[in-house]
Structure 1
């Protein structure tokens, strides 16, 4: 009788081999797709940051530039936020004080109202001018008559785009004289104005007469958190990639080798197969 021994595989060896298999391809595909999306979002935020910095630089140049004549009426339909907003302009005309509109405002001076007054120009066109801020106690025009100039005046200020969607989470109510945004078209309709520019002008600060609206309060602030957002997306992509490597790295690189070793070597430990002596 031979002294050789035959070794038969048992369920323990087969279990180790099964556990050593690579992770699900679908799970890896989902993780890699998520990493790609996070990287793409980070790149997009980097591009947005470059755009925002260019915008800030462009606006700063416009605001501090010498005032130029207001564009001709024939050019008004082509005016856009990207092309002309915050451009420093100058014009002349006569204020129509009896058709002013008060728009709710919160400024560095406190809460109150913007005084939007139509400026009638020599060519018959009208431009709404935000003359500035007044507190609630000066809401009534009779309290600031000495601040309303008569005759032709020169106005300089920043060209602003109309605000048609309301403000302060509230919608304008022209019928009740409740205005929360500087909606040029709605104000023009409520005041019976014609040939009105599709924008308004924020008047510069000036040495106005007593009780005149306070101009020059335009807030120019562009949030620029794109770098933080970009770093956040890149960090999430890095962490997800690290998690993928730690979780599945063994199955991708080491476990198949161990599985082959398990199949090649006879079991000798507690999980070894049953030893059967041949007869």
Structure 2
């Protein structure tokens, strides 16, 4: 078998591999552009919900129709009483939707009772640097549990699933690492709760702690940079193959 016969199958195989690699890079670039369009649509929808006039919380009969896709970040009002039940804290290193929050701390989750008897969980706000200090957290929650109805304004939010690296919750300390209010309710005996929770905006306690506030959507949008990277890789692979092929032809000639 001569060198020419050996080189032809090798060149053909390398050419097929290169075409597959180029096609994959282009497909990933196109996918990133599609993701960019979807992300911009989502940002526009969330901004519209945040800017919409405040509405009353939908009645319990409509809760089963609410979903994250169409109701996340809707701004609502409700009148509820903070229940005399144990609170839960969710550790956080900051916030992607609150400009006024930075550094480690916990979000204070408390069950509230509507006048109709249903339980709605409220994220009453941020408590700075209290991940392990239950005494501080208990005093914070105790200020809110007065037994009197309170008019609350906030945003409908839905629970988040834990990731692969999410630390396991510690029910003995009433400490969680994801905002899963249903898991909190089951562990702490809150009973049946609404499928969503409320991120509180107002009222702000006189002490300022926990610290509720307005939300602002800041979704990361790097899809154009990723698309350019993939298309650039496809171009680089094409150029490299072209140079290699030209060199092969010159040696063959």
CA contact (8 A) 1:172 1:179 kept: yes
Establish whether residue 182 from structure 1 lines up as the match of residue 175 from structure 2: no
Determine which of 27, 35, 47 is the counterpart of 1:60.
47
- Would the aligned equivalents of 2:108 and 2:141 in 1 still touch at CA under 8 Å? no
CA distance in 2 between counterparts of 1:241 and 1:164 reads 42
State which of 240, 245, 249 in structure 1 corresponds to 2:242: 245
Equivalent residue pairs, number? 242
Q: 1:117 aligns with which of 110, 115, 138?
A: 110
Distance in 2, Cα, partners of 1:178 & 1:47:
38
In structure 2, the partner of 1:88 is 75
Partner of residue 156 from structure 2, selected from 133, 156, 159: 159
1:207: Cα distance to partner?
4.2
Distance verdict in 2 for CA 1:45–1:28, change over 3 Å: same
Alignment map for 1:69-80 (pairs within 5 Å)? 69-80=56-67
2:196 corresponds to: 199
Which TM-score applies when normalising by structure 2?
0.82
Which fold has the larger relative contact order, with Cα–Cα distance below 8 Å and residues 6 or more apart in sequence?
1
* CA shift digits 1:179-231 (9 cap, x unpaired): 22222222111232233112211100444322541101656321111111100
* Post-superposition CA distance 1:63-103 (Å, at most 9, x none): 22222222332333343322211111221111114332222
Q: Indicate the SS of the match to 2:157.
A: strand
Q: Distance in 1 between matches of 2:102 and 2:9?
A: 67
- Deviation, structure 1 residue 146: 4.6
Summarize the Cα distance change of 1:218–1:45 in structure 2 as closer, same or farther, 3 Å threshold: same
Structure 2 residues not aligned, in runs of 5+: 95-100
Measure the CA separation in 1 of the matches of 2:140 and 2:8: 85
Q: In the TM superposition, what is the alpha-carbon distance from 1:145 to its structure 2 partner?
A: 4.6
- 1:30 aligned residue: 17
CA shift, 1:160, in A, is 1.2
**Contact 1:147–1:209 (Cα < 8 Å) also in 2:** no
Corresponding residue of 1:265:
none
Inter-partner Cα distance in structure 1 for 2:156 and 2:87 = 18
**Partner deviation per Cα, 1:235-273 (whole Å, 9 max, x = no partner):** 000011111111113656x788x5xxxxxxxxxxxxxxx
* Larger mean Cα displacement after TM superposition, 187-196 or 36-45: 187-196
- Which consecutive residues of structure 1, in runs of 5 or more, have no partner in the other structure? 1-13, 259-279
Native 8 Å contact 1:132 1:217 kept in 2: no
Instruction: Describe the shift of the 1:126–1:246 C-alpha distance in structure 2 as closer, same or farther (beyond 3 A).
Output: same
Change (3 A) 1:250 1:19: farther
Moved more, 140-149 or 85-94: 140-149
1-structure distance, mates of 2:8, 2:106: 71
